[in-house]
Amino acid sequence: MSRVAVYARYSSDNQSESSIEDQFRLCREHAARERWQIGGMYQDAAISGASTILRPGIQALLRDAQTGKFDVVLAEALDRISRDQADVATLFKHLRFAGVAIVTLAEGEISELHVGLKGTMNALFLKDLAMKTHRGLRGRVEKGKAGGGLCYGYRVVKKQDANGEAIRGDREIIPEEAEVIRRIFRAFAAGQSPRSIAVALNNEGIPGPLGRAWGDTSIRGHVSRGTGVINNKLYAGVLVWNRQRFIKDPNTGKRVSRPNPESQWVKTEVPHLKIVDDDLWQAVRLRQKAIEEKVGPCPTNTLEGRARRLHRANRPVSLLSGLLSCGCCGGRVGLIVNSRFGCLNHHRRGTCANNRTIPRQRIEERVLVGLKDRLVSSDSVAEAVRAFAEEVNRLNHERRGQAVADRKALEKIERGIQGIVAAIEEGMYQPSMKARMDDLERQKADIMERLAQAPADIPDMHPHIATHYRRNVERFTEALDDPDGGREAAEAIRSLIGGIVLNPGEKRGEVHISLRGELMGILDLAHADANQREPRFMTAAVAGPRNQ
């Protein structure tokens, strides 16, 4: 009897949760007719079929298929599994390699022909749907209606036409939020900073967009992208649509925004949605211009500007960027002003009481000292590395021994099964043979399941890893003082740090630092070969803290 896994999905555009149960019901009925045993039910609710990367249901199905939990994947149609041509082909290859067939109620058993033709048809359907949706939204915007999304200060107006159909895209001003918007514009035009405006609003308990706390970025936003309260032209009575487009990153499946040229923007006058008068709008523009002239524009359109943006996007702003957190609120700690680190929730939103800051150079010095003293130079860490290596090698030895014994037993069982089959073919059948065959088949299934669930082989660690660790620590320490090797050492440092927590001390200006080590980073430092200039680094566990 074939074991079958049932998969169902509905997207968030025009379906509901009942669609999942409908698909399951139809698949269960088909499995009953075929006398298949259902071994699992997998689903993805309100998730697009354009990518399988972010769909937990399909990922769980693929993992279970690779462990031999079922023989067939059953779905209502191939586009329920995925509409992306590349994803369908990849999934088909993985399932075929695992010995699992794909069967759908609409197409039957899926073959390479289905993958090619249906994949192409689904891809074209997605493209056609996107074009029609974009065209429909543009027509709605040109009529002064919303093209998607709802910004702060407005609410949706629910109306129906003569036929009882919903009229979409209408919205109206929320008077209370409109007054907050005008207050922000007046304060910024008068010279107040976005941070001080955000702090004042938070102190008064005025909720921001989506009910969250106000931040300086939610007020100042990005001028060229039209984000942030003071850059939203809708508040001046102009609806701007199609500033940017979204595409899916093939590596992550997440949507990434890309700016459109201004020639593709759609602008429509909507005086009934105007919140800020022209004079106040222009006053804010003049202050933005004055700030830009004082600070200097960023050369985003030059080759140098693009290179600078790429550099910032792919490299940490400082040695410790992304590793620091506040011990009071748990929020991020980042560079504030004058190369000083501080709690961003305090300095941008005013929602944390931790007002302590510490110079970038000072915190880097203290972290390096702590790293050398407690993490990479400690005898206790070297002993922990040695003990970890011994345990890994012991488990490896046990696992490999069990695998060898299982394979020998499996070979013996296979010979026994073949012997019984040969005897039956020669007419020597006895009733006891059936019971013996069932027992051998059961033993075979148990062993194969155990081998399939065994973890991937982990290479043994060198028995003298602690000695290698100390020697590599000496090279690491020397590299920190070497101008030529400093960059590589800096990259290695980040891999050895699991996290850094900053807590305010009792004295004025006092900051306590807790340093957590990356266990796997330290193990990689121990493993690094003498000729290997850049060791491998992985995710980590936590080592002991250090307060300074």
Q: Give pLDDT tens digits for 522-541.
A: 555 445 543 343 333 322 33
C-alpha–C-alpha distance, residues 235 and 274, integer Å: 5
- Cα distance between residue 62 and residue 529, in whole Å: 37
More confident residue, 430 or 172: 172
Reported confidence tier of residue 445, pLDDT bands at 50, 70, 90: confident
Handedness of CA 349, 351, 353, 356 (dihedral sign): negative
Q: Which H helix or E strand runs over 154? A: strand 154-156
Distances (CA, A) of 314 to 152, 257, 308, 309, 318: 32, 17, 10, 9, 12
| Helix spans in 143-242 (H) | 175-189, 194-203, 216-220
- HSE-CB of 53 using CA atoms within 13 angstroms: 12
Query: Are 86 and 53 within 8 A, CB to CB?
Result: no
Q: Parallel, antiparallel, or unpaired for β 3-10 and 72-75? A: parallel
| Tokens found for residue 428 | 């020597």
Mean pLDDT of 206-216: 87
The single-letter code of the amino acid at 28 is R
Tokens of 402: 């069990």
In this predicted model, what pLDDT tens digit does every residue of 260-281 receive, in sequence order? 888 888 888 888 889 999 999 9
Q: What is the pLDDT of residue 309?
A: 44
**What are the Cα distances from residue 338, in Å, to 279, 293, 351, 357?**
35, 20, 22, 10
Q: What average pLDDT score do residues 71-79 get?
A: 89
Q: In the prediction, which pLDDT does 201 show?
A: 92
Alpha carbons 535 and 509: distance in angstroms, whole number: 38
Least confident range from 40-44, 49-53, 202-206, 496-500: namely 49-53
Residue 446: how many CA atoms within 13 Å on its side-chain side?
Answer: 9
Would you state the structure tokens that stand for residue 241, as one six-digit string? 């649509």
CB 5 within 8 A of CB 40: yes
CATH 3.40.50.1390 placement within the chain: 3-125
Determine the pLDDT at residue 532: 41
Kindly report the number of other CB atoms within 10 A of residue 281's CB atom.
19
* Helices 379-425 and 465-480: angle between axes, nearest 10 degrees: 130
Domain with CATH 3.90.1750 in the chain: 171-313
* Residues 198, 220 contacting (CB under 8 angstroms): no
167 φ/ψ angles, rounded to the nearest 5 degrees: -95, 115
pLDDT band at 257 (very low <50, low <70, confident <90, very high): confident
CA distance 521 to 323: 14
The span from the CA of 140 to the CA of 268, in Å, is 10
Q: Which residue has the higher pLDDT, 500 or 321?
A: 500
Q: What pLDDT was estimated at residue 473?
A: 56
Closest CA to 288 of 230, 348, 232, 201: 230
> Who has greater pLDDT, 379 or 224?
224
Given a cut of 50, whether residue 547 has pLDDT beyond it is no
Distance from C-alpha of 287 to C-alpha of 292, rounded to nearest angstrom: 9
Give the closest residue to 12 by CA, choosing from 50, 42, 40.
50
User: Rounded to an integer, what distance in angstroms lies between the CA atom of residue 469 and that of residue 489?
Assistant: 15
Helix (H), strand (E) counts: the chain: 17, 19
| Average pLDDT over all residues of the chain | 75
Rounded to an integer, the average pLDDT of 373-390 is: 61
Superfamily of domain 3-125: Resolvase, N-terminal catalytic domain (3.40.50.1390)
Of 438 and 117, the one with more pLDDT: 438
Fold classified for 171-313: Hect, E3 ligase catalytic domain fold (3.90.1750)
Reduced to 3 states, what is the DSSP secondary structure of residue 41? strand
Crossing angle of helices 175-189 and 278-295, rounded to 10°? 40
How much is the average pLDDT of 344-370?
84
Model confidence at 373, pLDDT cuts 50, 70, 90, reads low
Confidence label for 6 from pLDDT (cuts 50, 70 and 90): very high
Average pLDDT over residues 427-440: 83
CA distances from 442 to 85, 99, 449, 538 (A): 40, 20, 11, 40
Kindly state the average pLDDT of the residues 47-72.
77
Q: Which two tokens stand for residue 255?
A: 């949507």
Q: Give the pLDDT of residue 110.
A: 87
Whether residue 51 contacts residue 44, with contact meaning beta carbons closer than 8 Å, is answered with no
